[in-house]
Amino acid sequence: MNIACDARALVGRHTGVGTWTTQVMAGLASDPSTEILMGASKPIDLPEKLHLPNVRILPRPRLPLPGSLWLHLLLPAALQQAKADVFIGSLAMVPRRSRIPGIAMVHDLTPKTHPERHTLKTRWTFNPFIKASLKAARAIVVGSEATRTELLEHFPWVAGRLHLIGYGVDQFFSPAVEPEEGEQTRQLFADGRPYILHLGTLEPRKGLLKLVEAWDRLHEITPDAPSLVLAGGEGWDIRPLVDLID
């Protein structure tokens, strides 16, 4: 089987969607009889985990195009030429006029439900296209019950094609084998105290201001509550979060 994937999340700095794309496609590539086709309108920074003989990158346009134009105008022909059997839209988008069955992976609907928490670019590349993408998709996948509920609220007609497949946890996050290892980690990140970890790009849509405020109230009530550790790449509009912590 030839499985194609929207690899735009692997262009430039990788965030959570890039991690999801890497892990899912690496899992599918573990079957040597499967060929993985990664596509994007700009050069892809392919993670080492995907440096496999059955993973290849689709030819990209001679001139870099905006991702949405590439997806809808050029990708359908590229998928046909590569003899793809299925396309995974890792950013919720599938080509509207492609003959290849598409799977739309919807991580959340926040560009639609909370546009103020996104850049103009994200809003312009998501909101005008999401409805058509959901109509075109043969199947729709979400990673959480919250997103499933929200999707059905706004697009109830997707119910028959909607599948909830929870996010996995990398082995890196397994509990420490030896007690000393756990103690070393607590010492490194929280001065030896128990801690609550938030891992993800530090940006408005993650609700981090509310999280910090909630932790601050918890700490007032219970001074020995676990510390709060925020980890992740720096996203846009991070200044309010920095000011709140300071």
Query: Which pair of structure tokens corresponds to residue 32?
Result: 């040597």
| Distance, CA of 128 to CA of 162 (rounded, Å) | 21
- Are 105 and 148 in contact, with CB atoms under 8 Å apart? no
Q: Is the pLDDT of residue 176 over 80?
A: no
Q: Domains along the chain?
A: 2-164 (3.40.50.2000), 175-245 (no CATH)
Q: CB count, 10 Å around CB of 47?
A: 16
Confidence category of residue 49, pLDDT binned at 50, 70, 90: very high
- Position 87 scores a pLDDT of 98
Q: What percent of the chain has pLDDT over 90?
A: 71
Cβ atoms within 10 Å of 179's Cβ, excluding its own: 8
Q: In angstroms, rounded to a whole number, what is the distance separating the alpha carbons of residues 146 and 168?
A: 16
Average pLDDT of the residues in 49-74: 91
- Mean pLDDT, residues 44-69: 91
Element containing residue 126 per DSSP (H, E): helix 120-126
Contact 111, 124 (CB under 8 A): no
pTM reported for the whole predicted model: 0.88
pLDDT band at 96 (very low <50, low <70, confident <90, very high): confident
Whether 61 shows a pLDDT value over 90: the answer reads: no
* DSSP codes, 202-223: BSGGG-HHHHHHHHHHHHHH-T
Average pLDDT over residues 86-102: 95
Tell me the chain's radius of gyration from C-alpha atoms: 20
Inter-residue contact 41 to 70 (CB < 8 Å): yes
First to last CA, the chain: 52
Contact call for residues 78 and 37 (beta carbons, < 8 A): no
Answer whether 232's CB lies under 8 Å from 216's CB.
no
